[in-house]
Structure 1
Amino acid sequence: MSALQLINASARLGGRVVLDGVSFEVDAGELVAVVGPNGAGKSSAIRALAGLLPLSAGEARLGGDSVSRLTDRQRAERVAYLPQERRIAWNLPALEVAALGAPFLSGADASAAALKALVEVEADHLAHRGVAEMSGGERARVLLARALATGAQTILADEPIAGLDPDAQLMVLERLHDRARSGQAVLVTLHDLTLAARHADRVVVLAEGRVVADAAPMQAMTPDVMTRVFGLTARWIETSDGPLLSGVRYSDGSGSGVRVESSEL
């Protein structure tokens, strides 16, 4: 049984179609990246699976059950949701913010889960600092820790590396990859195509609310798809570190922290 599924899912926002018959699934132990141009429907797919975007047709499922039939508590127990927005209303210490990810545990157990998650994202030194006194990158780590503290079987992460420096980007993706290897199902939206290719087990390419490709990175992001969807000329090349998506520029000489040559991606 798949951990999460969209089945012929359609949705509208403000009169605009944002999902148009989208179908894909993620199994336990997989990290799947959803990529596509701005407005392709990436965040809408994540929000539909989290139960935050009603569908006009089709179905979203978590653990085989329709999201629309789950209670708020059941959704919270089954899925950890990391939204793209990083607003935190109050200047709480990082430990308390991370503990909000474990609302069904006792106070002591929630704090323990929060501290463990902060250690996991290398932010335990921020445990007692107010989030309003942190940089954007530090807050991003704390919010990731909040999601990891849930212990949910499924993780939905919407642009978790946006605005982070290259080292932090790689750390976040490595932690999510580790969670998938431990048996959780991880679905993440990304703008950086090369990092998606490097870290995802499978890539779902969206364009105009529809699935264009759903396969292993090399099969999903073919030269034809890259041209049709992103307007890029790109190809796969073999390197000593394995296949690499060419047609991108590097932010440093090591090939880490790459960005696609288009601000629209």
Structure 2
Amino acid sequence: MIAPLTMWDAEATLGGRKVLDGADVQVERGRLVALVGPNGAGKSSLIKAFVGLLALDGGVARLNGDDVTTLSPRERARRVAYLPQERRIAWNLPAVEVAALGAPFLAGPEALARAKRALAEVGGAHLVDRGVAEMSGGERARVLLARALTTDAPMLLADEPIAGLDPDAQRLVLERLRGRADGGAAVLVSLHDLALAAAFADQVVVMHQGQVAAAAPPMEALEPGVLRSVFGLDGRWVETPDGPLLAARRAQ
């Protein structure tokens, strides 16, 4: 059976620079895959290609077996929820109305009810009636996550959803994404924090210069050779009472 999210031999350029260079990625149902790599490695480009926001020069990105370029925006929205890295919201709408945008195929009252549940799920019940322009960056991040969770799409893609959040909020976000995967969704999330990627993901995909340098369970993908060649780190896995812990420092 073909994985819901599949990308084969993807090639893409942006601003005259090659951002994807033969990338292959698959995300199965019920799995959370963490996409990691240095700045400029191609993580955001890969996610945007999956949702049809970045055209491929070669290769293919498929949603449930169909080339994303053959799907209408409406059909893409049915299949995949997308949480972009940018947290700008154009209008000062109440949080519940912004979150309800994640359910465009539901009647208004049902969409609002689902949005309220999603806001509560991300610790944002107190934000329901507040305008998003009056919120902190972290609060807006919760609202946008709630918008993504409001959809019942079987695939969820999140680009740096924990950037700028405090540690408790970071874990809350990843727990909610983990919950969606455990519920049967295919979840792909880009992260900078390797320890959190290892803690929450079923598989880690390491990107480097537009290519996939490793794709395996966390301890295999983030092995010492990859840590040094891709991230410039000296690192190893240490067994602790709470499970394996990644210990790493900048390579000399």
Tell me if TM exceeds 0.5.
yes
Q: Which amino acid aligns with 1:30?
A: R
Distance 1:43 1:212 in 2: 16
Q: Using the alignment, how far apart are the partners of 1:80 and 1:117 within structure 2?
A: 14
Moved more, 239-248 or 26-35: 239-248
SS in 2 for 1:191: coil
Partner of 1:85: 86
Gaps of 5+ in 1: 249-260
Structure 2 counterpart of 1:162? 163
Show CA shifts across 1:50-100 (max 9, x none): 110000000000011110111111000000000000000111000000001
Secondary structure at 1:103's aligned position in 2?
coil
Q: Which residue of 2 aligns with 1:53?
A: 54
Residue equivalent to 1:202: 203
* RMSD, matched Cα: 1.0
Deviation at 1:122, TM superposition (A): 1.1
Percentage identity across paired residues of the two chains: 65
Residue 8 of structure 1 deviates from its aligned partner by 0.5
Q: Offset of 1:182 from its aligned partner?
A: 0.4
SS of match in other structure, 2:233: coil
Query: Match for residue 130 of structure 2?
Result: 129
Give the Cα separation in 1 of the matches to 2:24 and 2:176: 27
In 1, Cα distance between equivalents of 2:242 and 2:200: 13
CA distance in 1, matches of 2:29, 2:56: 24
1:242 to 2:243 alignment: yes
> Residue by residue, what CA displacement relative to the aligned partner does 1:95-150 show, whole Å, maximum 9, x if unpaired?
00000111111111110111111111110110000011111110000000001111
| Residue identity matched to 1:80 | A
Structure 1 position 64 matched with structure 2 position 65: yes
Match of 1:39 in 2: 40
| Aligned residue type for 2:205 | V
Q: Secondary structure at the match of 1:234?
A: strand
Alignment partners' CA distance in 1, 2:136 and 2:152: 26
Could you tell me which residue of structure 1 aligns to residue 98 of structure 2? 97
What TM-score results when the alignment is normalised by the length of structure 1? Answer: 0.93
List aligned pairs for 1:219-230, cutoff 5 A.
Answer: 219-230=220-231
Partner SS for 1:38: coil
Which contiguous aligned blocks of 4+ residues in structure 1 show a shift greater than 6 angstroms? none
**Which structure 2 residue ranges, 5 or more long, are not aligned?**
none
> Alignment partner of 2:192: what SS?
coil
Structure 1 position 162, deviation (Å)? 0.1
TM-score by length of 2: 0.98
Tell me by how many angstroms 1:244 deviates: 0.7
Does the residue aligned with 2:189 lie in a helix, a strand or coil? strand
CA distance in 2, matches of 1:247, 1:225: 12
Q: Does 1:139 align with 2:140?
A: yes
Q: Which moved more, 1:160-169 or 1:64-73?
A: 64-73
